[in-house]
Structure 1
Amino acid sequence: MSIQTTEVIIVGAGQAGVAMSEHLLKAGIPHLVLERARIAERWRTGRWDSLVANGPAWHDRFPGLELPGGPDAFVPKEQVADYFVSYVKHLNSPVRCGVEVQKVTRLAGRSGFLVETNSGPFEAQYVVAATGAFQTPVIPSIVPKDAGVTQFHSAHYRNPEQLPEGAVLVVGAGSSGVQIADELARSGRKVYLSVGPHDRPPRSYRGRDFVWWLGVLNKWDAEATLGVEHTTIAVSGARGGHTVDFRRLAAEGITLLGRSDSYANGKLHFADDLRTNIERGDKNYLSVLDEADAYVQRSGIDLPLEPQAREFLPLPECVLQPLKTLDLGKAGISTILWATGYVSDYSWLPADAVGTDGRPNHQRGVGGAPGIYFLGLPWQTRRGSSFIWGVWYDAKYVADHITKQNDYMTYQPNTPQLSTQV
C-alpha cells in the first residue's frame, strides 16, 4: 500500500482539530485532519440528549462563523456539531472521516513520523494530537460491579427513560452531574446528588453573562497554577441558562450528599464535607459578584444593580444534618451515574510524547518530544483553553510554532560555511 505524505497530520476533527486546520490553512502549510468517526462526533454521541452549550452563542464560537439561534442562545448539541461541519466546509478544510489513527512512530534515520491508520500509512513532519482531554470515562472503583445496581458514566447517559425504574444517585457536582441530576428530578425521579469541592459562578450578573465577566476581569487568561487545573465548575446553559444553586436543588427534592467515600455491605459512605463544599462554592460565587461590582465602580460602566443576587435560601436539612451512610436498597436506588470526569489515552503516540503518568509532555501545547503537539487540553495555556473559543487561540499558537520550525528547517546559507579547523 502506498504511503500518503503531508506536512502535518492532525488527529481528531473536533473543535481543536478544526481550529488547528484553520490556522495551518492561513499559514499555507499542507496538512490532513484524520477523524475516526464524524466531525465533532463527541458533541453528537458523547453527550446526553438535552445538552446545550454552556456558554452563549456570541461567545462560544470561532471568529469566522456565527452560531445559530441569536447571540444569547445556548445552542443545542446537535447544532453545535452541525456548526463545526459547516465550519469545515467554510474553510474547505482537508478532513478525512472514518480514518482511525492506530499508532505514530518516528521515522528511522530521517525526520518525521509514520502514522498508521485503518486506511493505510501516512508520513508527516509534525503530528498534532487534537483528541482533547475527554477521551476515556473514569468510574472510581468504589462500588463493586456485583452490588446489584446499574452503574455507568455520564458519557453514556442520554435521557431519563434510558434508566431502570427507581431512584438515582448522581456522583459529581460539575456541570454534567448537576444538569443530569436536575433533569432526572424534573422527570419525576427521586435523586441523590453527591457533591464534592467545586466553583459556582453566577450564570449572569447585572445584565451580563458570567463569560463576559470572566473576560473583562481577565480570568479567562489566568494561567494554570498547581491544583487549579482540576477545579470542578458548576454552571448550566439549560433552559436558557441559570445559576446552579444547590439550595434550590434541595428545595426541589434532590437529597444532597457529601463526597462519595467508600462502600460495604450494600451501603455507600460519604465524607463529612457537604456543608464545607456548599459554603466554599457560595464563597466563590460571592467573590465573582464582589469583583464585578468593583469593576463597575472602577470603570463607570452603567449596569443595573442586582442586590437579590446575594440572597440565598437557607441551608437545607440535608446539608445541616447530612447523611453519612446510605443503604442503596432501602433508598430504592437502582442506578448510580458517575459524572466523574475522564482520562486521556495517548498510548498511540511515541513513548517520549507523554510522561510516566501518561499525561502529555508539553509546554503550551508544544510537545517535549520534537514534532509532537497537543491541542484541546484544559488549561493548555490559560483558563479558557478547553472552551470552543479558547482552543481557537491555542491552535494559532501551535500553528505559529510549526511555522517557525518550518522556517528553520528550510534555511539554507547564502555562502559556504568556512571551516574552523586550522
Structure 2
Amino acid sequence: MTAEKIDTLVVGAGQAGIAMSEHLSREGVPHLVLERNRIAEAWRSQRWDSLVANGPAWHDRFPGLAFDDIPPESFPAKERMARYFEDYAAQIAAPVRTGVEVTRVRRCEGRPGFTVSTSQGEIEAQRVVVATGPFQVPSVPKIVPETAGLLQIHSSAYRNPGQLPEGAVLVVGGGASGSQIAEELQRAGRRVFLSIGEHYRPPRAYRQRDYCWWLGVLGKWDEFRPQAKKRHVAFAVSGYDGGKTVDFRRLGHAGITVLGLTEGCDDGVLRIADDLAANIAEGDRAYLEVLAEADAYVARNGLDLPPEPEAWEMLPDPACIRAPLRSLDLAAEGVGTIIWATGFRFDFGWLQVAAFDETGQPLHRRGISAEPGVYFLGLPELTNRASSFIYGCYYDAKYIATHIGVQRMYVAYEKT
C-alpha cells in the first residue's frame, strides 16, 4: 500500500498543535495534524471536574479569538477551554484528523523525510512537529507499596471527592494541582494531609492586576534577568475559587495538615523531611519579591494602581507549620487515599530519531531539534517560562513555522 505523503506532520491537537497549524497555514506549508483522541483531550479526560485555567480569560487564549461568553477577568472552566480549542481549530480550518495514534517515527532510508507509522497506516512526512505537550505520562514516585491497603491515584485520575473511598486523604504535591485538590477535599468534609516540597509561590493578583499581567510587564515570562533556580519546582498559583493566592498557612488554619516532602515509607509509616519551614520561607521570599518589583514598577512608570498594604501581611504559622510532623502513620490516621500531584514525565519511545541527549531528554534549541526536520513544541522552558502555557506556545509555534518555511525554500532552490 502506498504511504500517504505530507510536507509537515504535527503530532497532537492540543494547544500546541492547533497553534502550530495556524502558523504553518500562514507560511503556506501543507500539513496534517494527528490526534489519537479528540481535540484538547487533556482538558477533558486528564483533569478534575472543578478545574479552571490558571490564567484569566483575557490572557489564557490565542490572539485570534477571545472568550465571548465569560468575563475577561474570570478563569475558564476545563470544558470551556476544550471548546475554545475546538472552536479555534474550526475557525482556522485546521486539518486535524482525530482518532489516529502515532506509534513510530523513523527517518526514511535513501530519501528525505520520515516514515510515520500510525493506527491507520503509514504516512511519509518531510518534517515532524512533536506537539504532545508536557503532560504525557503521570509521574508517581515508588514510595508507598501498592499492597498498603489504600487507593493510590495520580492527580490526572482524580475527578471529585465523591469518587474516593471513605477516610482521610493524603495529597502529595504543593503546586497548583495539589493545593487546589487538597482545598476542595477539605471543603467537602475530608480530613486532609498535604505534603509539599520546594515551590514557587507568587501572588495571584496585586494592586488590581493579575499575576499574568505582572509576569509580562516585569519581564518574567521572558526572564531577561534570569536567576539561578532549580528545575521542576512546583508552580503554586491557580484560578481556583475565583483566583486567589496559594497560601499554605491559610490552608493549615482551615484544617489541612501541611507536611514537608514525603521521603519514604516504612511499614505503612511515611518519613517526612525536615524541610517544611525552609520551603515555606522560600515561597514567601518569591512572593514578597514580586510585590517589591511590582511596587517599583508602579512608581517608576507613575501608574495609578492603588497600594495594597494588606498583601504584605502574613498569617501566623498554624500548628502544623510551627511543629511539623516528621512521620505519618497512614493506618493510624485513617488515610484511605493518596493522590499524587507529582507532575508528568515525557514518553518519546515512539520517536525513533536522533533528537535526544544521553538522558533521553529532547535535544533542541527553541524547539529545533538535533535531528533535522524534527521539532518540539509545548515543552517547559522550550524558549522561556511561557513555553508550556497557552500564551507562550503560540509564539513558539510561529518561530518554528518560520524555520520550516525557510527550510522549504532551501529544498526548493534550483540553480539557474
Pair in the same fold by TM > 0.5: yes
How far apart are residue 227 of structure 1 and its match? Answer: 4.7
Closer/same/farther in 2, CA of residues 202 and 381 from structure 1, 3 Å limit: same
Q: Which residue of 1 aligns with 2:74?
A: 73
Q: Give CA-to-partner distance per residue, 1:84-137, whole Å, 9 cap, x none.
A: 000010000100000100101111111100111011111110000000111000
Distance 2:92 2:228 in 1: 37
Distance 2:9 2:298 in 1: 46
Closer/same/farther in 2, CA of residues 20 and 58 from structure 1, 3 Å limit: same
Task: State how 1:14-413 maps to structure 2 within 5 Å.
Answer: 14-67=14-67, 68-222=69-223, 227-413=229-415
Q: Which residue of 1 aligns with 2:11?
A: 11
How far apart are residue 228 of structure 1 and its match? Answer: 4.3
RMSD of aligned residue pairs (Cα, Å): 1.1
Conservation of the 8 A alpha-carbon contact between 2:353 and 2:371 = no
Q: Give CA-to-partner distance per residue, 1:328-361, whole Å, 9 cap, x none.
A: 1110100111001110111111241222322111
SS in 1 for 2:338: strand
More displaced stretch, 8-17 vs 275-284 = 275-284
How far apart are residue 231 of structure 1 and its match? Answer: 2.4
Query: What is the letter of the counterpart of residue 10 of structure 1?
Result: V
Query: What is the letter of the counterpart of residue 54 of structure 1?
Result: N
Query: How many residues end up aligned between the 2 structures?
Result: 414
More displaced stretch, 215-224 vs 201-210 = 215-224
Q: Give CA-to-partner distance per residue, 1:195-234, whole Å, 9 cap, x none.
A: 1010111111000001101100010012777754422111
Q: Give CA-to-partner distance per residue, 1:246-289, whole Å, 9 cap, x none.
A: 11100100001000011101100100000111111011100000
Query: What is the letter of the counterpart of residue 243 of structure 1?
Result: T
Normalised by the length of structure 2, the TM-score is 0.98
How far apart are residue 193 of structure 1 and its match? Answer: 0.3
Query: What is the letter of the counterpart of residue 16 of structure 1?
Result: A
Distance 1:103 1:376 in 2: 20
Identity of aligned residues (%): 57
Distance 2:286 2:362 in 1: 30
How far apart are residue 322 of structure 1 and its match? Answer: 0.6
Distance 1:50 1:144 in 2: 29
Distance 2:231 2:260 in 1: 22
Distance 1:270 1:252 in 2: 21
Distance 1:104 1:185 in 2: 46
Distance 2:60 2:346 in 1: 23
Conservation of the 8 A alpha-carbon contact between 2:105 and 2:353 = no
SS in 2 for 1:64: coil
Query: What is the letter of the counterpart of residue 39 of structure 2?
Result: I
Query: What is the letter of the counterpart of residue 65 of structure 1?
Result: L
Conservation of the 8 A alpha-carbon contact between 1:229 and 1:379 = no
SS in 2 for 1:69: coil
Q: Which residue of 2 aligns with 1:418?
A: none
Normalised by the length of structure 1, the TM-score is 0.96
More displaced stretch, 141-150 vs 206-215 = 141-150
Conservation of the 8 A alpha-carbon contact between 1:346 and 1:354 = no
Q: Which residue of 2 aligns with 1:419?
A: none
Distance 2:158 2:379 in 1: 23
SS in 2 for 1:127: strand
Distance 1:40 1:385 in 2: 17
Query: What is the letter of the counterpart of residue 36 of structure 2?
Result: R
Conservation of the 8 A alpha-carbon contact between 2:107 and 2:353 = no
Query: What is the letter of the counterpart of residue 385 of structure 2?
Result: R
Distance 2:230 2:195 in 1: 21
